[in-house]
Amino acid sequence: MSGSDTAVVEDDPLPDVLLRVRERVASPPPPPHVCDRANKLSDVKHFTSTWLSVSAKSIDIAEYLVPSPAVGTQLEEPICRGDLPASMHTLDHLAGIRHRHLLPHFPEMGLREALQTLTDRTPVSVDLMATRIARSLAKNETSWVVATAAALYWRVVGSGERAVDCLRHTLHYAPRHMKDIPLISLANILHR
């Protein structure tokens, strides 16, 4: 059989998987007074904070935190290393991560109770929990679980840059099947 005798078989057409609603239904744009009312109703500063606890993955965070310090102890804040090497794991290729020092961030008061009840149903002060997290991080610098708690603290007090530092730490050290935990927090911070 010569090359010119070869039968040409065309591919099946690709299925149309996109919904093209505008092609089928057209509606006129809303009048200006409707848009004005919608703008008044929408509050751009309103934001629902979300946080995925390590307990959702059957991890008891209390096992990773040192006991509560004695009354009158010097309070500490958990500082995660900001000098981790850039990698695909830490998502440094994203502009929001590279320029985290420019992130406007406000305290996420909706997460305060989550931080205060991190290890027990009885709330403790934010400062006391911060000290426990800081000391636990000093004891085990590679703990992604403790770094997740540290990121929660920084979100509550309103430091997006420090929260991202802790989430980079978490992404660097967390096992692959646990990376959704820091990614959800990171998405919240970058979305704000």
Which pLDDT value is given to residue 190? 87
Percent of the chain residues past pLDDT 70, beyond the cut: 81
Q: What is the pLDDT of residues 78-105, one digit of tens each?
A: 999 878 777 777 888 888 888 888 887 7
Three-state SS across the chain?
A: CCHHHCCCCCCCCCCCCCCCHHHHCCCCCCCHHHHHHHHHHCCCCCCCCCCCCHHHHCCCHHHCCCCCCCCCCCCCCCCCCCCCCCCCCCCCCCHHHHCHHHCCCCCCHHHHHHHHCCCCCCCCCHHHHHHHHHHHHHHCCCCHHHHHHHHHHHHHHCCHHHHHHHHHHHHHHCCHHHCHHHHHHHHHHHHC
Which pLDDT value is given to residue 96? 83
Quote the tokens at residue 86: 């850039």
Q: How much is the pTM?
A: 0.75
Which pLDDT value is given to residue 9? 47
Enumerate the domain spans of the chain: 87-192
Measured CA to CA, the distance from residue 121 to residue 13 in angstroms comes to: 59
Going from the C-alpha of 14 to that of each of 7, 18, 150, the distances in angstroms are 21, 11, 49
Measured CA to CA, the distance from residue 121 to residue 114 in angstroms comes to: 10
Total residues found in the chain within this entry: 192
Measured CA to CA, the distance from residue 88 to residue 121 in angstroms comes to: 37
Which pLDDT value is given to residue 84? 79
Which residue ranges of the chain lie beneath pLDDT 70? 1-26, 38-47
